[in-house]
Structure 1
Amino acid sequence: MTSHNMTWIKYPSKDFTEIEEIIRSQNIISRFMHIYIALFVPTSLVAGTFNLTTFIKGRSTILRKLDLYLLDLTVTNLLVTLFSFTAITRPDYILTTNLSCGVLSFFFNICYFNAQYIQIAMLYTFLFHDYLPCLRVVTMIKNPLGNLGLVFACAVSSSLVGVMLLGTAGSLLKSTLCQVDPLTAWPEYEIVKFSLGFGVTLIIQVVFFSLLVGKLVRGDAPSQKENRPTYLVMLTITLIMFACRLFYNIMLLNKYKLKLQRDNGSPRDELIMNIAELVLFGESCASNLAILFLHKPCKTALNESVRNLTRRCRREEETHNSMPL
C-alpha cells in the first residue's frame, strides 16, 4: 500500500525550510522540558516511591482490592516517569535503530494501555459493580490478582498490535530518530492506539455512567457513605486521565491525518505534539499525587511521616538550645 511507504516522512524541525519558526518552537519546547524535569519528574518519583513503600508495608497486614489496583497503577506511573527521560534531549530526538525504537515503543505502550485498563477495572469493580448488578455476569474473575492479570494481558496484546504497525520489520538495524511513538509508523498505528487506548474506553465509561445515572435517578443505587473516599480517588484518577489523554489523542489523530495527506506538518504541529507528549507524561505525576493525598492508607502514612519529622526537628532544636555555651 502507498500509505505504508513512510520513507518520505521527516520531522519539520529537520526540514530547514522555516528557520525562524523552528527556532521559536525549539525554544518553547526546551522551556517546557526544563519545567517538566525540574518539577514533575521529582514530584512523581517521590510521591510514587512513597505510595509504593506504603503499599509494600501494607503486605504485613492484608492489601485490599483497591490497594492492589492502586499498587499496579503506582508502578505503572513510575515506569512512565522513567520512560519520559527519553524526551530529555528535546528539541532533539534519540538516535537509535528501528529495533531499539520498536522495543521502547512496545514497553511504553504496555504502560499506556495498562493504566487505562486498570482505571476501567477499578470503576467496574468498586463503583458500577455494586450499582449495576446486571453487569456482574460480564466477568467471572473474583480474585483481584486475576483481574490484574487479565488487564496486563490486554495491555500486552494491544501493545503487540501497535508494534506490528510500526512498519520497520524489514529495516530493524537502520538508524532512526526515535520517540515513544515512532514518527515513521504506519498511519494505522495512530488510529489503533487512539481506538484501543482512548476511544473504546471512553465509550465504556459513557455507557457505565449513563447506566449509573439511570440508577441514581430511579433511586435504586445503594447508599454507601463509607465508600465515598474510594469513589473520590477513583473518579479523580478518571478525570486526570481523561484531561491528559484527551489532548494527546487529539494530536494523535492530527498526526494520522497528516500522514494520510503525506504532509510533514509545520514546526508548530511538531511543537504541539511534543507538548501533548509531556502532558501525557505529566499524567503519572498527577495520578501519583491523587493517590497520595486521597487514598486513606497513603494519606495516613504521609501525615505520620510529617508528624515524626516535625517531632524529630523539635527534639533536635530543644537539644541544641539546652547545650551549655
Structure 2
Amino acid sequence: MSNQSEVLAPPGMNTTTPFLNTILNTSTSTVLPYDDLHTIAAQDITSRANYIYSFLAALGFVAGCFLFYSFIQTYRALKRLAWLNRLLWAFCGLQLLLLLLSLHVVVYIPHYLRTTGLGCAALSFTINTVSLCSLFVLVLMAYVLTLDPPSHALLRKPWVCGALVSLTSFLIALMLAGLRGPREGMQVEYMCVMDPVSAGVSYAAARLCLAFLIPYLLQLGLLMAGCVRQWKSRRRFLSGSEEGPVFLTVTVVMFFCQLFYSVVLVRGAQLAQKEGLSCHEQAFLTVAEFVLFSGSSASLLIVLLMHRPCRESLHGALRQLRDCCRSPGASQTNRNIIAPHIEITDTLQDIE
C-alpha cells in the first residue's frame, strides 16, 4: 500500500488556477462572431478599392486640368477650334465634372453620404444627366468622324448639338429619377446610394437600356455606316483624322466600365429582391461604382496621351519644367568659351 495519498478537491471547487482562467477568458473574448468577420472583410475590400480609385481620380483630375490648359492655349493661338476639338473639349469637361461628383463616394467610405431623400434623388439625377451627356457627345463624335457631314449641316452647329444632347439626357435622367424615386420620403435622412438596389429590378433594367444600350447602339450603327462608306470609297477607316484613334479607345474603355456597372446593378437588384444582399455583395456594388467613375479618369488620361496637340503641350511643359529644375550654371557650360585675342606689339628692335 502506498504511503502517498491523493488530495482530492472537494466537489464544486474549481481546480484551474486563476492565471489559467484569465488566459482562457481573454482568448474567448477576442473571438469575433462570424458576421463581424465578414463585415470587416467587406470593409477591407471597399477601403482598398477606395485607395486605388482615389489615386486614379487624382491622376484624372490633373490630366483634366492640363487638358483645359492645352485647349485654351490652342484657342488663343488659332483663335478658333475645329468641330471635333470642340466636341472633345466638351467631353473632357463632362468627365471632369463626373470626377468631382464622385467625391460623395470617396469621402464617406466605408459608409455613404447621409442626406434627405430629395437631396439623394437630385444627386443621382445630376450624375445620370452628366454621364448621358458625355455618352451622347461621343455619339456626335462618331457621327462627324464616320459620315463627315458638311459644315452647313444642322448637327455641325454648336447650339443645335448642345440643345439636342442636353434635352435628350435630361429626359432620360428624368425617367430614371421617376423610376428610382425617394422610397423613404422626401425629407427623411438616410444613407444615399446613387443607384440603390432597393429601387427594384425595373429601375436597374431601365438604366441598362436607357443609359447604356441606347447611346452605344447609336455609336455602333454610326460606326457600321462609316465602315460601309469607307469600304465603298476604298479608303482606310478614320485614316485622315487625328481624333479617330482617341475616339475609339475612349469608347471602348467607357463601354466596358458602363457594362460592368450596369450588369452588377441588375444582378444586385435581383439578389436584393430574392434573398437580400450580404456584406460582400454590398462591397462589390461599391467597387462597381468605383469602376464606373474610373472610366472618366481613364478617358482623360487617354485623351492627354493620345491626342497629338495635348501630347505636344505636355512634352513642352515637361521640357520647361526640366529646364527650370536644371542648375543655372549647367546650361551655360558651353558658352563660357574665351575668344582668342591676338595682340601684336612692336618692339624697339623692329622699329629700328
TM range (shorter): 0.7 to 0.9
Equivalence for 1:284 = 296
Q: Of the candidates 66, 69, 87, which is equivalent to residue 87 of structure 2?
A: 69
Equivalence for 1:154 = 168
Equivalence for 1:11 = none
Segments of structure 1 that go 5 or more residues without pairing to the other structure are: 1-15
Matched-pair contact (CA < 8 Å) for 1:165–1:189: yes
Give the deviation of 1:224 after TM superposition.
Answer: 7.5
Distance, in Å, in 2 between the alignment partners of 1:149 and 1:64 is 19
2:260 pairs with 1:263: no
Supply the AA of the counterpart residue of 1:125.
V
**What is the identity percentage for the equivalent residue pairs of Structure 1 and Structure 2?**
27
1:155-184 deviation per Cα after TM superposition (whole angstroms, max 9, x unaligned): 121111121122327710011111222344
Distance, in Å, in 2 between the alignment partners of 1:153 and 1:58 is 30
Distance, in Å, in 2 between the alignment partners of 1:17 and 1:56 is 57
Give the deviation of 1:315 after TM superposition.
Answer: 4.9
2:97 pairs with 1:110: no
TM-score scaled by length of structure 2: 0.76
Distance, in Å, in 2 between the alignment partners of 1:32 and 1:317 is 47
Equivalence for 2:20 = none
Q: Of the candidates 33, 57, 61, which is equivalent to residue 50 of structure 2?
A: 33
Distance, in Å, in 2 between the alignment partners of 1:63 and 1:263 is 54
Supply the AA of the counterpart residue of 1:41.
A
Q: How does 1:22-171 map to 2 (within 5 A)?
A: 22-37=39-54, 39-60=55-76, 61-88=79-106, 89-126=108-145, 128-130=146-148, 140-168=154-182, 171=185
Matched-pair contact (CA < 8 Å) for 2:125–2:173: yes
Distance, in Å, in 1 between the alignment partners of 2:258 and 2:43 is 23
Supply the AA of the counterpart residue of 1:255.
G
Supply the AA of the counterpart residue of 2:254.
M
**Structure of higher CA gyration radius:** 2
Equivalence for 1:314 = 326
CA pair 233-319 structure 1, distance change in 2 beyond 3 A: closer
Q: Of the candidates 182, 198, 216, which is equivalent to residue 202 of structure 1?
A: 216
Distance, in Å, in 2 between the alignment partners of 1:186 and 1:312 is 57
Give the deviation of 1:50 after TM superposition.
Answer: 0.5
Equivalence for 1:18 = 35
Give the deviation of 1:250 after TM superposition.
Answer: 0.8
Give the deviation of 1:66 after TM superposition.
Answer: 1.4
Segments of structure 2 that go 5 or more residues without pairing to the other structure are: 1-32, 334-352
CA RMSD of aligned residues (A): 2.6
2:263 pairs with 1:250: yes
Matched-pair contact (CA < 8 Å) for 2:226–2:237: no
Matched-pair contact (CA < 8 Å) for 1:101–1:178: yes
Q: Of the candidates 208, 211, 230, which is equivalent to residue 243 of structure 2?
A: 230
Give the deviation of 1:32 after TM superposition.
Answer: 1.1
Supply the AA of the counterpart residue of 2:104.
T
2:309 pairs with 1:297: yes
Matched-pair contact (CA < 8 Å) for 1:118–1:148: no
1:34-57 deviation per Cα after TM superposition (whole angstroms, max 9, x unaligned): 1221x1121011000010122233
Point out which structure has higher relative CO (alpha carbons under 8 A, 6+ apart): 1
1:4-50 deviation per Cα after TM superposition (whole angstroms, max 9, x unaligned): xxxxxxxxxxxx9833222211111111101221x112101100001
2:241 pairs with 1:241: no
Distance, in Å, in 1 between the alignment partners of 2:241 and 2:63 is 23
Range moving further from structure 2, 169-178 or 218-227: 218-227
CA pair 319-141 structure 1, distance change in 2 beyond 3 A: closer
Distance, in Å, in 2 between the alignment partners of 1:149 and 1:304 is 36
Q: Of the candidates 189, 199, 203, which is equivalent to residue 175 of structure 1?
A: 189
Matched-pair contact (CA < 8 Å) for 1:99–1:173: yes
Matched-pair contact (CA < 8 Å) for 2:227–2:237: no
Matched-pair contact (CA < 8 Å) for 1:22–1:267: yes
TM-score scaled by length of structure 1: 0.82
Matched-pair contact (CA < 8 Å) for 2:47–2:110: yes
Give the deviation of 1:211 after TM superposition.
Answer: 3.4
Distance, in Å, in 1 between the alignment partners of 2:203 and 2:214 is 15
Range moving further from structure 2, 163-172 or 98-107: 163-172
Secondary structure of 1:181's aligned partner: coil
State how many pairs are aligned. 296
1:195-227 deviation per Cα after TM superposition (whole angstroms, max 9, x unaligned): 1111122322333343344445x4435458762
CA pair 320-87 structure 1, distance change in 2 beyond 3 A: farther
